[in-house]
Structure 1
């Protein structure tokens, strides 16, 4: 049975699914009618955070140019340039038992590529979601539909997996940012230009 979450809700993942070993985290979105003459390219990124809520270095920032992290425990599917079609637009596979012990949170974000120069924002995006699937059974365990409550934001922290008392939990975040990927990177301890 799928657990549908609202913004701010948290749910046990490994405690309620004993033996869960491998996850697929799917992220999807649609763009509203847009006639600005530019491509509309959304990108998912993953930050592997230590207890300080910061990455230990660039290797803990997983995205289309660095698709594997956490000693191979987190793998990004690569860049989907259009977001066309149904289902997941980008996926991240996680072997949760292999995530290094210093990683306390796995944070999932979506940003708009070149949002400022293309004058694009999340007010132009609809049907955004994150879902967590048991990779071994293909069963969808958790789904969080973000809703339409964004306007000028160019980045969104969608959700996070986090450790709690030796178990993994999932939290529906849905928090918007201005400043795109650079703002997220700076918040999570990566210095970018």
Structure 2
């Protein structure tokens, strides 16, 4: 059984797990039940635009100055692996339907270039402005870290606070510390309305 983390908590990944070189980062979410037409929430949010909510998970590979220095260090549905192939995305899930992980990102820690000090995992809502959607329409969001060799879950962070009005989430990060890798639960909501807007924070 993995460790359940709270916002702001950190955990060692490689220290205490000798030989660990690869991790799978799974992200999941559910769409809340759609309100009836004319209901308070429906009126407030324009009925969610009527479309299913398409959440997109991405990984941003940063240098020691927390900067994204090249476009091949952004891994998302439009670029499924980093230029060095150390980070790979499972592909886009358009609805978030079903149990378990909605999107998965594989990280080969042993292949991450030394210039990369941090990998930030974010989720944004595709076309959120046009569809009038925000994270108030999402429930049961989580991120977890798994050993892909044996399926052992190291840790899980359930994003339990309200993110109503927010259109992007900086969910968590995996980072180097004293030649080891650690995981930090972030859970920061933002009003960035697209991935391109979100990554400006790191440029």
The normalised TM-score by structure 2 is 0.90
* Alignment match, 2:66: 53
* Alignment match, 1:98: 111
Check if 1:65 corresponds to 2:78: yes
1:110-134 CA distance string (max 9 Å, x none): 1000011111001111000000000
* Alignment match, 1:110: 123
Q: Which runs of 4+ in 1 moved over 3 A?
A: none
Match of 2:143 among 114, 126, 130: 130
* Alignment match, 1:3: 3
* Alignment match, 1:83: 96
* Alignment match, 1:182: 196
CA shift, 1:188, in A, is 1.4
CA shift, 1:182, in A, is 3.1
Is the contact between residue 2 and residue 141 of structure 1 (CA under 8 Å) also seen in structure 2? yes
1:67-117 CA distance string (max 9 Å, x none): 101511100001001110000000001111110100000000010000111
CA shift, 1:51, in A, is 0.7
Match of 1:38 among 51, 65, 72: 51
Q: How much is the aligned-residue C-alpha RMSD, in angstroms? A: 1.0
Please identify which structure carries the higher strand content.
1
* Alignment match, 1:146: 159
Rounded Cα–Cα distance in structure 2 between residues aligned with 1:70 and 1:166: 22
Equivalent pairs, count: 189
CA shift, 1:179, in A, is 1.9
The normalised TM-score by structure 1 is 0.95
* Alignment match, 2:43: none
Against the structure 1 CA distance between its residues 134 and 141, is the aligned structure 2 distance closer, same or farther, given a 3 Å change threshold?
same
Unaligned runs of 5+ in 2: 35-46
* Alignment match, 1:25: 25
Unaligned runs of 5+ in 1: none
Is the contact between residue 126 and residue 148 of structure 1 (CA under 8 Å) also seen in structure 2? no
* Alignment match, 1:13: 13
Rounded Cα–Cα distance in structure 2 between residues aligned with 1:161 and 1:51: 13
